[in-house]
Amino acid sequence: MAYFNHAFYKSFLASDASAADGTKTSALAPGQLALVDGKDWTAHAGGAFPTPGLAYLVQGSLHASDTIGGNKHHGGYAESVKSKGINPKYLTRVWESSCIDAAPATVEIEVGPKCAPCGSSLFMRLDVKGAPALRFLNHNAYAVGDSAGVCCIDGQEFVDPALALAEAARMLLADPIIEPFVKEAVGGGVSITTSASGAPVTTVYTIEDALNGTYVPSTDPVADAVSAKVAFVGAYVDTKFGDCSFDTRDYFGKEPIQLVASIMDETGNPCNDCGTVVTTPGTMQQKTGESVLRNILLTESYGQAPFHQGNTDAQRMREIEGSEEVIAAVDRSALYKAYYVQHSIPRLNNATSVFDNDQYVYEIFVKCDDAATQGEVEALLDVLIAAAVASGNPIVREDSIDQ
C-alpha cells in the first residue's frame, strides 16, 4: 500500500459569486462562482447546506461559444467548470493567501566621522543576488566603489563621510554589471547628519548634489560630528509579452533583486569597526495575473479545451477555439487573492492507481481590489464549513497566510 500526500489541483476564476439560491448551473455567467447542491444542481446561496449530500463548486465557463468553426456536432466548451463532489465530512482544510504587493530590497550603509582618514580610501561592496541577475549573467554579481576621487586640504585629518560615501556610491552605480539592478533611494540617496550645534540635524541630498558643490562638506567632520548614510534600492523586474504573443513558456519576472552591502578595508576584508549596514529584503507578489492565467489554462487543458501556441497561426486558432476569451478574462497586470478548499475522496481504486484516498485542492482566484467578490466567496466557503461542522467535522477557515 502506498500513500501520497499530494493533491490534484483545479483552478477557478471568480469575478462574481452572488448567484441567487436555486440558480441552475447552466445559467451561471462567465466567471460566476456558486456552491451547488449535488441533488438538484442548483446554487445554494445561504443557510444550512443539506446533509448528507455532496456539494460542488461550479463556475460559469469563460467560453462564450460552445462550438468550434461552426461544427454543431462538436460542443462542450461553454459547459460550467465543476469540482469533484465534496462530502463535508471529508473536508480537510480551507485557507486563503494574502494580497501582498511586491516591495524592492533596500540597503543602507552608515559611517561616522572617522571612517575615511585622509591618505586612504573608503571601500564599499554591493552584491546583487536573485533570478534577474542569474538570468543575465548565470551568476550573482557585485561591484566595489571607493572614495579615491576625494582629496583633503592641508591639515585635514578625515574626509567628510558624506563625500566619501557619495563618491563610492557613484562609482557603484556606474558599474555596467550591476547598474541595471540597483539605484539610489527615491528622493535622494545620501542622508547627512550633523550634531555639533546641539540637536542632530539631518539633510537629504542626491548623490550628484552631494558631489557637485550643492552640499558644503566639512573640513573637520569629527568636530562637526558629521555622519552620513547612503541608501540603495534594488530592481523589481516585471516583464511580460502582449496577449497576441502570449505563450505559457514565456518567462515573467516576479522575484526582486536582493542586495547585500558591506564596508571594506584597503585589503578587501570586511571592515567591522567602521560603519553599519541595514538591509531590508525584497518581497514577492503573491499571485500575479501571469501565474493565475497559467493555472487557469492548465485547468482548461484538463478539460481538453485546446490552447494553441508556438505555431504561425496560433493567434487565429485561439480566436476560433475560444481560448482568447480565457486570456482576456485574466487581468495579467493585477494581483489576485486565492482561496483554497481541500478535501479527500475515500475509495479503494483511485486515479493514482494506489489503495488510498484521492485528495483534491481547489484554488479560487479573486482580484485583490474586488472586495465585493471576496466577501461573496468567503460567504460560500462559510456555508460549506458550516455543513462540515454539522456533520461532525470541526473545520475552520484559516486566516490569510503567505503562499
Q: With bands split at pLDDT 50, 70 and 90, how would you rate the model's confidence at 337?
A: very high
Average pLDDT rounded to a whole number, residues 87-98: 91
Confidence at residue 357, expressed as pLDDT on a 0 to 100 scale: 72
Confidence at residue 50, expressed as pLDDT on a 0 to 100 scale: 67
Q: With bands split at pLDDT 50, 70 and 90, how would you rate the model's confidence at 333?
A: confident
Q: With bands split at pLDDT 50, 70 and 90, how would you rate the model's confidence at 306?
A: confident
> Is the confidence at residue 102, as pLDDT, over 90?
no
Q: Is 276 exposed, middle or buried (0-12, 13-18, 19+ CB in 10 A)?
A: exposed
Confidence at residue 167, expressed as pLDDT on a 0 to 100 scale: 92
Confidence at residue 72, expressed as pLDDT on a 0 to 100 scale: 45
- Per residue in 168-207, pLDDT tens? 999 999 999 998 889 998 888 898 888 877 788 889 999 9
Confidence at residue 122, expressed as pLDDT on a 0 to 100 scale: 87
Please give the share of the chain, as a percent, with pLDDT higher than 90: 30
The owner of cell 443557510 is 47
Average pLDDT, the chain: 84
Confidence at residue 33, expressed as pLDDT on a 0 to 100 scale: 95
- Per residue in 105-151, pLDDT tens? 999 999 888 888 888 888 999 999 988 888 888 889 999 999 887 88
Q: Output the pTM of the full model.
A: 0.78
Range with the poorest average pLDDT among 190-199, 364-373, 393-402? 393-402
> Is the confidence at residue 165, as pLDDT, over 80?
yes
- Per residue in 245-281, pLDDT tens? 788 888 877 778 899 998 887 777 767 677 788 888 8
Three-state SS annotation for the chain: CCCCCCCEEEEEECCECCCCCCCEHHHCCCCEEEEEECCCCEECCCCCCCCCCCEEEEECCCCCCCCCCCCCCCCCCCCCEECCCECHHHEEEEEEECCCCCECCEEEEEECCCCCECCCCCEEEEEEECHHHHHHHCCCEEEEEECCCCCCCCCCCECCHHHHHHHHHHHHHCCCCCHHHEEECCCCCEEEEECCCCCCEEEEECHHHHHCCCCCCCCCCCCCCEEEEEEEEECECCCCCCHHHCCCCCCCCCCECEEEEEEECCCCCECCCCCEEEEECCECCCCEHHHHHHHHHHHHHHCCCCCCCCCCCHHHHHHHHCHHHHHHHCCCCCEEEEEEEEEEECCCCCCCCCCCCEEEEEEEEEECCCHHHHHHHHHHHHHHHHHHHHCCCCCCEEEEECC
Pairing of strands 91-97, 397-401: parallel
Confidence at residue 369, expressed as pLDDT on a 0 to 100 scale: 92
Rounded Cα distance, 291 and 366, in Å = 13
Contacts 24+ apart (CB under 8 A), 374-379: 374/337, 376/16, 376/17, 376/18, 376/33, 377/14, 377/17, 377/33, 377/339, 378/339, 379/17, 379/46
> Is the confidence at residue 372, as pLDDT, over 70?
yes
Confidence at residue 1, expressed as pLDDT on a 0 to 100 scale: 37
